[in-house]
Amino acid sequence: MSFPQAHILYLHGFLSSPMSAKAQEMRHYVAQHFPHIQLHMPVLSGVPAKAVEQAITRFTALQNTYGERLLGVVGSSMGGFLATHLVENVSSSEHSAKAVLINPAVAPHRLFPEYLGEHVNPYSKEQFTLTHADIDAIEQRNITQLSVPKQFQVWLQTGDEVLDYRLAETLYKESDLRIRVGGDHAYQDFSRELPAICKFLTCERFAQ
């Protein structure tokens, strides 16, 4: 019996990549349990404005090509900020996408001043410089209120040492919010959450 192919877009965080532990855990889980679902994991620039445009371009192409077979977006940290922007501002009203967020960045322009200067992505080896103009560009994309909160499932760990989980707890209070005590920014034991994540994205429609 054949199954229609479905698609999920995965967006990694700042100074991360599709080779990160969470991305690879999700890749292996989906390949094992939902072989007819294709994961798209673009390498995003460390420059925030470029990352936004890359995410929009990939999401729009997938949405235009696959419609409702694009099950949604999974975003970690800064990728969660990008995923929120896509669902809120880019997703088609006809096939509104879902998003799963893992320790998402909320108002990242407040945190980026700590990262001003030169960087090298440890995975991609991309060299870039974060400037005040980059911070201003991402602030313009900031979201303070959700119009489609039910389209989001959000996973937070209170031990996140990079982001204040309470900011996400407030912004996504009307979403499918899952808060785990302890953990860290990398989100410990991510693999245990994958069945619930895939259920939210309705992956079971494409099970073996």
H or E stretch at 170: helix 165-171
Is 1 a domain residue? no
- Residue 108 in any domain: the answer is yes
Residue 14's SS3 state is: coil
DSSP tag of 187: -
User: Any idea which of 90-99, 145-154, 157-166 has the lowest mean pLDDT?
Assistant: 90-99
Q: Tell me which residue of 93, 90, 136 sits closest to 113, measured CA to CA.
A: 136
At residue 207, the pLDDT reads 63
Q: What is the pLDDT of residue 96?
A: 80
Tell me which amino acid residue 10 is: Y
Half-sphere exposure of 113 (CA within 13 A, CB side): 5
Helix (H, G, I), strand (E, B) or coil at 29: helix
In contact, 87 and 148? CB cutoff 8 Å: yes
The 10s digit of each residue's pLDDT in 86-136 is 999 998 777 788 999 999 999 999 988 888 999 999 998 999 999 999 999
6-17, pLDDT tens digit by residue? 999 999 999 999
130-139 own/partner pairs: CB under 8 Å, 24+ apart: 130/46, 130/47, 130/48, 134/47, 134/48, 134/49, 135/48, 135/109, 136/109, 137/48, 137/49, 137/52, 138/48, 138/49, 138/52, 138/81, 138/108, 138/109, 138/112, 139/109
Is residue 35 scored above 50 in pLDDT?
yes
Please say if the pLDDT value at position 193 is more than 60.
yes
- Mean pLDDT along residues 14-28: 95
Q: Which domain holds residue 40?
A: 6-206
Which whole number is the average pLDDT over 18-29?
Answer: 96
- Whether 43 maps to a domain, the answer reads yes
Report the pLDDT value the prediction gives residue 3, as an integer from 0 to 100.
56
Name the percent of the chain lying above pLDDT 90.
Answer: 86
120: in domain? yes
Beta bridge partners, 130, equal 117
Asked if the structure places residue 153 within a domain, the reply is yes
Amino acid 146: pLDDT: 96
What is the spatial distance between Cα 98 and Cα 115, in angstroms, rounded to a whole number? 30
User: Taking the CB of residue 30, how many other CB atoms lie within 10 A of it?
Assistant: 23
pTM over 0.85: yes
DSSP secondary structure letter of residue 144: S
pLDDT value for 1: 44
Closest CA to 69 of 34, 26, 28: 34
Q: Is residue 186 part of a domain?
A: yes
Q: Which residue has the higher pLDDT, 144 or 208?
A: 144
Residue 112: Cβ within 10 Å count: 21
CATH number at residue 201: 3.40.50.1820
Contact 163, 77 (CB under 8 A): yes
What is the number of domains present in the chain? 1
Judge contact between 78 and 51, C-beta under 8 A.
yes
Q: Considering the domain boundaries, does residue 147 fall inside one?
A: yes
Residue type (1 letter), 39: L
- Residue 87 forms part of a structural domain: yes
- Determine the pLDDT at residue 40: 97
Rounded mean pLDDT, 138-150: 94
